[in-house]
Amino acid sequence: MVCNIRHALVRTGNSLPIFIHLLSIDAKVTNMANYIAVVHKDPKSDFGVSFPDFPGCITAGSTIDEAKDMAHDALSLHIRGMLEDGEIIPTPSKLEDIMDDPHYSDAVAILVVSVSEAKPRSIRVNITVPEDMLRKIDNVAKKRGMSRSSFLVHAAQNAITQPG
């Protein structure tokens, strides 16, 4: 899995800064889910990380960056274990709901961690595409560091999820 920071925002609340990082985890799958990780810090402790949607899934790091990396690993392993045990993966909570929850009022950071959902089975297909369109698809896919198949799947997903 590859972990990339896609976006960072800073929001101040009460007297503590709240840092929001978006992590993207690419596991060569098409379905992603975003879960909130809450970071806590006591004066003489590491940065502790918990997941409101996954009670019992916790980790820590000596720095906020280490905690972020550990959060990615902890959540990925936790979800993998749940899937192996046949458990249902919860729907991600909304950031606003977690920010409003008094249990998380002492948070020093909120991490939004994207994890791949269960990988669907891929099926090879044969399609007919005009030659000039195929060249355009290949050029755009290459610029984005994607395969032709990955690009076509992402384009189809975007078309399917757009309203109207």
Residues 90 and 140 in one domain: no
Q: Read off the pLDDT of residues 24-56 as tens digits, 9 standing for 90 and up.
A: 434 333 356 788 888 888 888 899 999 999 999
Is pLDDT above 50 for 64? yes
- Do residue 104 and residue 76 come from a single domain? yes
Which range marks the domain in which residue 142 is found?
Answer: 131-161
Q: Residue 15 pLDDT > 60, yes or no? A: no
Mean pLDDT score of the chain: 76
* Residue 26 pLDDT: 41
Judgement on whether residues 40 and 99 belong to the same structural domain of the protein: yes
Residues 89/23, Cβ–Cβ less than 8 Å: no
Q: What is the pLDDT of residue 1?
A: 32
Q: Are residues 98 and 35 in the same domain?
A: yes
Residue 106 sits in a domain whose CATH number is 3.30.160.250
Burial class (CB in 10 A: 0-12, 13-18, 19+), 137: middle
Flag whether 122 is in a domain: no
Same domain, 72 and 146: no
Whether 126 maps to a domain, the answer reads no
Residues 19 and 71 in one domain: yes
Residues 100 and 138 in one domain: no
For residues 14 and 112, the model is more confident at: 112
